[in-house]
Amino acid sequence: MLIMIKGAWNYRHFILSSIQAEINGKYTRSKFGGAWLVLHPLAQAAVLAVVLSQLIGSRLSGIESDYAYAIYLLSGTLAWNFFSEMTSNTLSMFKDRANLLKKINFPRVCIPLIVIGTSLVNHLILMFIIISIVWCLGIVPSNTLLTLPLLVLLTISFSLGLGLILSVFDVFIRDVGHMWQVVIQFWFWLTPIVYPVSILPPEIRTLVDLNPLTAIVSSYQNMFLYSRAPDWGSLLPVALITLLFMFVALSFYKRNSTDMVDSL
């Protein structure tokens, strides 16, 4: 672990420049540039809000704001997009950087750190926009947002652990990336982003409660909509699953690291 930390520190300029290059490169030829970072999730949330606000908006309890459902949806989408982007980018990180891995000698820990940094910058920008929107809609952010960094750290760790496992398999089995796109679509609808858990029948609610992302997404929603601190008890199983993912991911990577470079 100390070797990994030392390696990352020694190559910190490489990591930071790579994060900047990836963010800039993504919008190089776009007239609106980084604005698409905000426009895409806001457009998604707006469409869902228009379609479902009358159907589900009245089911939200504990708040009488006319914009309660919009805030519920925005905060849930914020958490989901962070998880989705982190796992998808981590899954493909070795395959996308095959030439770099073969030609340049550098600590391999730099690659996940670049993925984390790029996704985190995007997340923080979108988070700032959503906090501003929520404030404009009449819900003043409370000091419960001070616990948000811990929630972000947990989301990063969970996404990274899962993504690392998938990334190792993806090097040898190229269908993994395609299968993940199917899985994540079903996972979206099993997560209470566009609906509150309270409206579900008991048998489906049990399944949703077993979903690790339910606790993460609900924590985001409770912070932004109800100004409640996260329920750390509900997040404890997520933390334990995260530790398991990280252990499995590191074991897989150490066992297959040499063969991975040859297969890229």
Contact 91, 166 (CB under 8 A): yes
pTM: 0.87
Task: Give domain limits for the chain.
Answer: 40-52+62-263
Cα dihedral across residues 95, 92, 26, 157: positive or negative: negative
Distance CA(204)–CA(125), nearest Å, equals 34
pLDDT at residue 1 in the model? 63
pLDDT at residue 61 in the model? 63
pLDDT at residue 25 in the model? 72
* pLDDT, mean of each 10-residue run, the chain (264 residues): 73 84 71 65 69 60 69 89 93 83 76 90 87 76 85 95 92 87 93 87 89 95 87 94 92 78 66
pLDDT at residue 79 in the model? 94
Burial 132-168 (b: 16+ CB within 10 A, else e): ebbeeeebeeeebeeebeebbebbbbbbbbbbbbbbb
